[in-house]
Structure 1
């Protein structure tokens, strides 16, 4: 009697399991499974239930288990904190304004906050470029063989990216007064040189062919007005000062980043800012002196 009751209970449980599997299948795919498929699913479900009861960790399905995140260790947190400062230094250094990329200049560190070797390096490069431009103006403005020789020429129109200064395609020779002779190395360069000089903002005239030499071009440079020369001097010095300010801002941002990440104390930052201000003021004074000297030379001509 007990055996019959047990068999009945098992059969009832089996029928209930099969019905549950059918209902689940209908809900998922909208079709009624075959009897064989239902029996197989019921057996699989029974095995899964038995396995789950032995191992409680399997109660969670794979797709609902959250990802376990490893906590950041102390070293990793410090590295993440230091990263913005390093990135700030790289972004500042990669900029071409303010004296070139950081790879061309010394790298500053918070341990040597009063070492402005990077600032001096950038300022030296700016001064060299600006003084060269002022030197050409002092030598005669547009009437300057060096200025004529630096005009870019494109020998081949089909290769617009290839250009050479006139000094590489011809000999630039001053002939007295405001006349410059261009002895072209090859006849093929004559027309490109004439076009380049005519298109240049400082000349805007076409060199004339020499009647005595087919490879010689004659350029007569018109005297530049003092007012125009003074404007060019002021423009060069204004740009020079602006680039010095860029150098100052670059280093200021670096000081702020060092203070933010804790690598520089507030007192040390104030002292570094004060010393940097002295360096910048001294450089601006050099610009003022160079501008005054160039203007004086221009007015005396």
Structure 2
């Protein structure tokens, strides 16, 4: 099958905001294989340093099938990208027709073994790694799903899961993507895990990655659904590594699913959107228990 490769090259003074808004635009049109070619601030030495090369220019890349309706979708993407000028973001859309085999593995060059915490290491299938005795190694093939664990939003989530997950806990992953957070929770002793995502491809890849990491199917369930459509049971630890606006939208549903004494980890929040999240927390009678920042990204652990 032929695919349209869409590159949104952009110029702005606020790279993280542009990254969030363009990714949100791409995901709203169900583009796959989304890759963010933006510079990331280096974390502490040993924690994922030098993971990505510095890009020649800032851009977001995504793909969708080259079918009859693709020109209509492309026109809508161009129109929506022009609207980002109101945020001081100038976007240029470039289009290239490629074969699936030409792009499916191209991004793998940039995904290396990455130590996220003192215990958790992410290892791509195609890389070698000799683990330390206490390492929890996550064997990962993200496929077309968003999230390799090297982005600050995901790395902060993993660190908080290690910090707040108590062995035997029930864990909910909202927007599971590649399943990386569920795998980390399993390695840290979660008793039962539930993962949901609105993308069927992400759910399928999560299942494959859980199997790859030998997580027993008796320990987890996966569903292609939204949070409001899931049973209103409670969880000891919830992770929502999504964008700020979606966090705001689902806050009432999140609040109802936090067990007494439980914690919800909210990530994917750019600094400019933090006030919106704080307002939603106040409305839902939740308070910040712990906060961490990396570059222009914010992650919050909240409780009742």
TM-score (norm 1): 0.23
Q: Which has the larger radius of gyration?
A: 1
Which of the two has greater strand per residue? 2
Which of the two has greater helix per residue? 1
